[in-house]
Amino acid sequence: MVDSSQDLPWWGLLPEYQQITLQDYPQRREFMPGRVMFFPLSAYQDIGGEMVTEQIDQLRGLITAGPALPEVETLPYLPLQNAHQVFHAKAAHLVFEGGVGVRYITAYAQGPWPLAESEIFYTFQGMTSEGEYYIAAQFPMLSNILPETPDASAVDPATFESDLAETVAQLNNLTPDQFTPDLHLLDQMMESIVIAATD
C-alpha cells in the first residue's frame, strides 16, 4: 500500500490494491510487465482526487453509451501517467462477469515522439457493475508494422499529426491475429475475470 502522506508525485498516489503479474508474458518489458490491477474504486478516488475521478467518470460515460464508442481525443486510463496519451486504436467494449470496460491499444509520451513497437501496449479499463472495483490491465504487444525502437530523427513537427493519424488507421485495420499476442487472446483473458464477493 502506498501511504498518501508520503511526498509522492500526483501520479504515484495509489490505494492498497491487488495485482496479478504474468511472469512468462511473451512481450514483457522491464518498465511495463503484463499485469492486471484491481483497485477499490472509492479509496482510489479519495487518494487520487479530481484527476482520478475524471478518468472514472469518463469510463462510466463510455459504458453507459454502449458498444458504439464515441469519437474522443483520449480514453480513460488508470493508474495516472505523467505523460500524454499519444493515440488510441482498436477500442471496443468488453464484458466480464459482474462488470464491463473498454479495451484499446495506446502509447504515452511527454511530447511529439515517433511510434515504435517498444512503446505501444494493450490496456483494459473496466469496473464492476456495483462500482466497487476498478480494473486496469496493461500488456505490452507488437503490431508488427512499427519500427522496433523510436527514431527521434524521424519526427517532423509539421506532419506529426497527419503521420500519427495514418499510423492509427493502419493499426485499426489490422486483424486481431496480426498483433502479438493475438488481440482475441488478451480479450478472452479480460472477459474471464471474476470478482469474488466480499463479506
* Contact indicator for 100, 126 with CB cutoff of 8 Å: yes
Q: Please name the amino acid found at residue 94.
A: L
CA distance linking residue 143 with residue 82, whole number of Å = 24
CA distance linking residue 171 with residue 95, whole number of Å = 23
167, pLDDT greater than 80: yes
* Contact indicator for 40, 16 with CB cutoff of 8 Å: yes
Average pLDDT, integer, range 64-92: 92
* Contact indicator for 104, 91 with CB cutoff of 8 Å: yes
55, pLDDT greater than 60: yes
Average pLDDT, integer, range 3-10: 58
175, pLDDT greater than 50: yes
Average pLDDT, integer, range 11-19: 87
- Of 59, 98, 117, which is closest to residue 190 (Cα–Cα)? 98
Give the pLDDT band (50/70/90) at residue 38.
Answer: very high
CA distance linking residue 134 with residue 44, whole number of Å = 9
CA-based end-to-end distance of the chain: 21
Please tell me the predicted confidence (pLDDT) of residue 6: 56
Give the pLDDT band (50/70/90) at residue 197.
Answer: low
Please tell me the predicted confidence (pLDDT) of residue 173: 97
DSSP H/E element including 172: helix 160-173
- Output the pTM of the full model: 0.90
Q: Which residue has the higher pLDDT, 59 or 3?
A: 59
Domain ranges for the chain: 10-191
130, pLDDT greater than 90: no
CA distance linking residue 95 with residue 25, whole number of Å = 23
Please tell me the predicted confidence (pLDDT) of residue 31: 76
CA distance linking residue 107 with residue 116, whole number of Å = 9
Instruction: Say whether 9 sits in a helix, a strand or coil.
Output: coil
The cell numbers describing 93, all together, are: 467494449
Instruction: Say whether 72 sits in a helix, a strand or coil.
Output: coil
Give the pLDDT band (50/70/90) at residue 1.
Answer: very low
